[in-house]
Structure 1
Amino acid sequence: MRSSNPVFTRRGFSRDGGYAGFNAGPQLQTGNPYAGSPSNPYAQPGNPYAQPQVDPHGGYVQPGAPVRSGVMTIDSVVSRTALTLGTVVAAATVAWLTDMPVALGVGFGIVAMVLGLWQSFKREASPALIMAYAVTEGLFLGSISNAINAVAPGAAMQAVIGTMAVFAGVLFMYKQRIIRVTARFTKFVLAAAVGFVLLSLVNLAVALIGDGNGLGLRDGGLGVLFGIAGVVLGACFLALDFKMVEDGIAYGAPEKESWLAAFGLTLTLVWIYLEFLRLVAILQGD
């Protein structure tokens, strides 16, 4: 099972129908490059995360005890996510306070998209590339948020609050197993994502023609439905990302993967924020 987030599609830590555990042995599910393969460094007999450990003094250590360094942990994911998101916020603040022109902000947005795609297709995480993405994405968000906030006062703050609420809600439901990331759930989200992208392309074509006040189909009642669907889809992406992080930790993935986890979560949160921003702008414009 793979995440719809492009960061994780080349990593595939997940196990179908399973939950993370440090005593995971070799897995046979497809889509997991670390499971059931002779080259799997995390599923070999010598994997300290796959079998009980005994300390030098003869004491028993529970399976999965953190006896080696250099692996992905929840602390490393949280710290790098905080750094990446903090950079996005800082850059957005600079763009907002300097009243950066929207055209320049869109230019930074295009650069951010290129950097994001570049990192997504790299085999390893590049902290410098991820931070460059965070800076350029932040500059884009700051300029576009400032512009929208000028015509729809309070839109940016409402979008921030909405994004935080979705993140907290999905995290709570995931931890309580209210949301269960199964193979069927993943297939549904991927199908919905494909449909949403296709609709977005149609919307772009309509917008270029000049219909819908420059918003294409994303105007009025249809735009509201479009925005709600985008937020819900973003919430589903978050659940998939949480699953990838959980299983990455369970498999004892290299610590550098924490940067990819941070990058993936940042992409999803930016998606949700932009959907909320559009939605609030439409609602206030009616």
Structure 2
Amino acid sequence: MQSSNPVLNRLGQAARQERSQVQPPSFGAPAGYGYPQSGYGVPQPPAATRAMTIDDVVVRTVALLAVTGIFGAGAWILLPDVGGITAIAAIGSIIAGLVLGLVISFGQITNPALIVPYAALQGVALGLVSRWYEHAFSGIVIQAVIGTFGIFAIMAVLYKLQILRATPRFTKMVIGALIGVVVLSLANYLFYLFGVNLGLRDYGTDGKVGWVPIVFSLVIIVVAALTFVLDFDAVEQGVRFGLPEKYSWYCSFGILVGLIFLYYEILRMLSYLRR
């Protein structure tokens, strides 16, 4: 069975290769060939790897969210509002989290020893950014949290009811739109650093905001929400492929990335509307 998600196709092939390499030994195989002898002298095959389940993904996603929340709360409470330490923590966590996230994504890494630190780094960045927004717009953080998980729940229901499905065409459209908004956002910021704002973003906290940044932010929120359909499909296809349990970490990582991306954009949108 082929998935519309190319990453899951590759993971499925890798999982099938792993399973095909585990062959039960013949009863006449002598000891010392990698199969320990039982008390009856019958060679025992290596233990089979348990396949991932949806529950595995749910548990790991909740665990990653807990790590993100704990480190976010710690950064919010423990680090000063201003100062060199806070600046280093903010910039360092953002850059390190970005690099680690790219390594995990392109390397298709399933090791929690890298995925959990990613959640911790993102937690520090989230805590500091959220505190900055909260100081500028009281109550905005709880609104963004409710909005983020509300949209996530809506997308889960739409996927469960099969209103939205990750068809090949849908997948291409979402990935293309995601690449487009990210490239435009980066281009706008780079121009802004050189004193030119393309008008897609507003980086201040006061004054009126035009309709272009609001519309652009709304488009990003819609695209971010649609990426959850790809995440849900990845989990579903991973279970159907019979991927090993360790791949549930990779699926949980994808969901966490989507939630953080959506949260940041909702924060920005709310700041526009509050102004």
Q: Using structure 1 for the length normalisation, give the TM-score.
A: 0.75
SS in structure 1 opposite 2:173? helix
How many angstroms apart in 1 are the aligned matches of 2:130 and 2:114? 24
SS in structure 2 opposite 1:153? coil
How many angstroms apart in 1 are the aligned matches of 2:91 and 2:199? 18
Segments ≥4 residues shifted beyond 4 Å: 39-44, 99-102
- 1:141 is matched with which residue? 126
What does the per-residue CA deviation read over 1:55-74, in whole Å, with 9 as the maximum and x for residues that have no partner?
Answer: xxxxxxxxxxxxx7611101
Mapping for residues 119-158 of structure 1, pairs under 5 Å: 119-158=104-143
How many angstroms apart in 2 are the aligned matches of 1:156 and 1:112? 21
Deviation at 1:270, TM superposition (A): 0.3
How many angstroms apart in 2 are the aligned matches of 1:148 and 1:231? 18
SS in structure 1 opposite 2:138? coil
Whichever structure has more helix as a proportion of its residues is: 2
How many angstroms apart in 2 are the aligned matches of 1:12 and 1:217? 34
> Structure 1 pair 216/128, CA: closer, same or farther in 2 (3 Å)?
farther
8 Å CA contact 1:210, 1:216 repeated in 2: no
The answer as to 2:12 corresponding to 1:34 is yes
Deviation at 1:140, TM superposition (A): 0.3
The answer as to 2:243 corresponding to 1:253 is yes
The aligned length equals: 236
The answer as to 2:147 corresponding to 1:167 is no
Q: Using structure 2 for the length normalisation, give the TM-score.
A: 0.78
- 1:239 is matched with which residue? 229
How many angstroms apart in 2 are the aligned matches of 1:196 and 1:87? 28
How many angstroms apart in 2 are the aligned matches of 1:136 and 1:85? 12
Partner AA of 1:217 in structure 2: L
What does the per-residue CA deviation read over 1:249-275, in whole Å, with 9 as the maximum and x for residues that have no partner?
Answer: 011100000100111100000000000
8 Å CA contact 1:108, 1:136 repeated in 2: yes
Which of residues 104, 108, 112 in structure 1 aligns to 2:97? 112
RMSD: 2.5
8 Å CA contact 1:227, 1:279 repeated in 2: yes
How many angstroms apart in 1 are the aligned matches of 2:67 and 2:171? 30
Partner AA of 1:159 in structure 2: A
Larger radius of gyration, structure 1 or 2? 2
- 1:208 is matched with which residue? 193
8 Å CA contact 2:144, 2:270 repeated in 1: yes
Q: Which moved more, 1:126-135 or 1:203-212?
A: 203-212
Mapping for residues 1-286 of structure 1, pairs under 5 Å: 3=5, 11-13=7-9, 32=10, 34=12, 40=17, 70-100=50-80, 101=82, 103=87, 104-210=89-195, 217-219=200-202, 220=209, 221-285=211-275
How many angstroms apart in 1 are the aligned matches of 2:186 and 2:116? 29
How many angstroms apart in 2 are the aligned matches of 1:135 and 1:210? 33
SS in structure 2 opposite 1:12? helix
Partner AA of 1:202 in structure 2: A
How many angstroms apart in 1 are the aligned matches of 2:233 and 2:20? 19
Partner AA of 2:12 in structure 1: Y
- 1:61 is matched with which residue? none
8 Å CA contact 2:51, 2:242 repeated in 1: yes
How many angstroms apart in 2 are the aligned matches of 1:210 and 1:174? 43
Q: Which moved more, 1:117-126 or 1:144-153?
A: 117-126
How many angstroms apart in 1 are the aligned matches of 2:110 and 2:11? 17
Aligned residues: percent identity? 37
Deviation at 1:217, TM superposition (A): 2.7
Deviation at 1:120, TM superposition (A): 1.6
Partner AA of 1:71 in structure 2: A
8 Å CA contact 1:70, 1:254 repeated in 2: yes
